[in-house]
């Protein structure tokens, strides 16, 4: 919660507790409740906030789904403890502010607040209110959905490695290894399944970025206007359903590609797309190319498994559930119903939203933002190299196309749907 005393926060909190009965409300005011009577003592304020912080910490450590911080939080430093607590425990922060007509009116606030704050004090506090802009806005996944996506991506990677020896060789090369260092398939998989590290290790929830804003004086292009856009503010805290159409693998990153609908596109702003289209991302393109070794031609891929293959182990092949369906009742991810025919749909070069993705992993030394450039590079390849049926290999749940350079994409025959929450990362 954010807002001055008397602005209407308590009314909103009552609505939240009614909607989420199991939620925990943490307020410094609770410290001053004695036998059901509110007795405010300004000299005890530091103790009140310490008690509030401890209650919030306990709730987050216990995994309470909704934790409400019912304090004024009008300046960034007042929020810092709770923002750090949310980051450490993988909570999405949703700032909620009253929209009452008097929320910035010191005269009316003086009449309504229960702390005895005068009009003069409230006038000063109104001037102290800070507009806190997040590092980025995006659609955030629950940790259970994140785990499911990681599981799916590893199962698909396993099949890609089985069917495309060149992909395995290139990943090994990045680790300064070769087939000579590998004893059998189990050894190979034990190495390469850990090739990509989880983006969650960087301390942020798995997400699809809508707009990078930056920090302090280093705000990104258009960040302030985006932050102030009523469509953005009205969407904060809203649930969406993202559609995942494919997974892209490169020696640098793994990304689940997202197809945004019209409402989501209105919230999506990636300058990288415009720069790429206008040829101003030559540096990013060169960095991507430098990380990829070997020739630039697409090697021939094996269409069927050979009868005798050193690294083939039937037990490993069947460890991927052939009838895997994420549409189980306890799943965070679902699939489209019906028999939707497979089709590869290359995105036009200038299409907004073509780089939308969820980073599922990065090679060591890579940053999550590099997934954007890998996806844009893949979009270029799809446009420049029209596909034929012979370009694809069958994998569980879809088809695989290898573009060479260690870049491949698995297109799902039925898209995956995942529920997400739109908000900012602070």
* 273-285 pLDDT, tens digit each: 988 864 445 445 5
pLDDT at 422: 98
For the stretch 88-132, pLDDT in tens is 999 999 999 999 999 999 999 999 998 889 999 999 999 999 999
Read off the pLDDT band of 180 (50, 70, 90).
confident
Query: Is residue 105 domain-resident?
Result: yes
Q: Do 338 and 388 lie in a common domain?
A: yes
Together in a domain, 315 and 195: yes
Write the pLDDT tens digit of every residue in 233-250: 999 999 999 999 999 999
Long-range pairs for 216-222: beta carbons < 8 A, 24 or more residues apart: 219/133, 220/271, 221/271, 222/269, 222/271
**Domain shared by 16 and 157, yes or no:** no
Whether the Cβ atoms of residue 387 and residue 344 lie closer than 8 Å to each other: yes
How many other C-beta atoms lie within 10 A of the C-beta of residue 329?
5
Residue 1 located in a structural domain? no
Q: Does one domain contain both 217 and 354?
A: yes
> Has residue 298 been placed in a domain?
no
Which range is least confidently modeled, 47-51, 123-127, 303-307, 378-382? 303-307
| Last-in-domain residue among 112, 132, 152 | 132
Same domain, 102 and 147: no
Q: What are the distances in angstroms from CA 139 to CA 15, 220, 232? A: 24, 19, 12
Q: Pairing state of beta strands 407-425 and 398-404?
A: antiparallel
Residues 261 and 383 in one domain: yes
Q: Identify the domain boundary among 104, 132, 160.
A: 132
The structural domain count of the chain equals: 2
Per residue in 193-231, pLDDT (tens digit) is 889 988 865 456 899 999 999 988 889 999 999 999 999
Mean model confidence pLDDT for the chain: 85
Residue 184 resides in a domain: yes
Secondary structure of residue 353 in the 3-state scheme: coil
How many other β-carbons are positioned within 10 Å of the β-carbon of residue 220?
17
pTM of the full structure: 0.85
Q: Are residues 120 and 144 in the same domain?
A: no
| CATH (domain of 15) | 3.40.50.300
Residue that finishes a domain, picked among 111, 132, 153:
132
Residue 363: its pLDDT value, please?
A: 94
């Amino acid at each position: 919660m954010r807002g001055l005393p008397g602005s209407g926060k308590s009314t909103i909190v009552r609505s939240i507790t009614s909607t989420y009965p199991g939620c925990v409300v943490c307020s410094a005011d609770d410290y001053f409740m004695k036998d059901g009577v509110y007795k405010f003592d300004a000299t005890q304020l530091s103790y009140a906030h310490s008690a509030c912080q401890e209650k919030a910490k306990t709730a987050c450590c216990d995994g309470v789904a909704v934790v409400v911080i019912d304090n004024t939080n009008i300046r960034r430093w007042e929020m810092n403890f709770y923002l750090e607590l949310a980051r450490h425990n993988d909570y999405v922060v949703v700032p909620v502010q009253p929209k009452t007509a008097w929320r910035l009116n010191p005269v009316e606030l003086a009449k309504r607040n229960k702390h005895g704050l005068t009009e003069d004090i409230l006038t000063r506090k109104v001037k102290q209110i800070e507009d806190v802009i997040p590092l980025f806005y995006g659609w955030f996944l629950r940790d259970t959905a994140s785990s499911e996506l990681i599981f799916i991506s590893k199962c698909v990677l396993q099949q890609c490695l089985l069917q495309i020896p060149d992909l395995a060789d290139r990943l090994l090369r990045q680790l300064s290894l070769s087939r000579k260092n590998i004893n059998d398939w189990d050894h190979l998989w034990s190495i390469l399944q850990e090739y990509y590290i989880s983006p969650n290790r960087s301390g942020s929830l798995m997400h699809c970025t809508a707009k990078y804003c930056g920090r302090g004086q280093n705000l990104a292009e258009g960040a302030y206007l985006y932050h102030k856009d009523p469509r953005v503010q009205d969407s904060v805290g809203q649930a969406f359903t993202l559609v995942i159409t494919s997974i892209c693998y490169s020696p640098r990153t793994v990304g689940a590609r997202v197809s945004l609908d019209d409402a989501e596109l209105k919230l999506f702003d990636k300058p990288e797309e415009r720069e790429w289209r206008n040829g101003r991302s030559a540096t990013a393109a060169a960095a991507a190319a430098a990380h990829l070794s070997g020739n630039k031609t697409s090697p021939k891929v094996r269409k069927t498994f050979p009868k005798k293959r050193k690294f083939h182990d039937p037990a490993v092949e069947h460890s991927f559930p052939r009838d895997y369906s994420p549409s189980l009742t306890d799943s965070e991810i679902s699939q489209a119903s019906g028999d939707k025919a497979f089709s590869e749909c290359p995105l036009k070069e200038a299409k907004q939203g073509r780089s939308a993705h969820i980073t599922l992993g990065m090679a060591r030394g890579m940053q999550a933002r590099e997934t954007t450039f890998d996806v844009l590079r893949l979009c270029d390849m799809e446009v420049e190299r029209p596909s034929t049926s012979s370009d694809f290999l069958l994998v569980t749940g879809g088809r695989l196309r290898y573009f060479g350079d260690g870049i491949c994409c698995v297109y799902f025959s039925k898209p995956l749907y995942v529920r997400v929450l739109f908000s900012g990362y602070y």
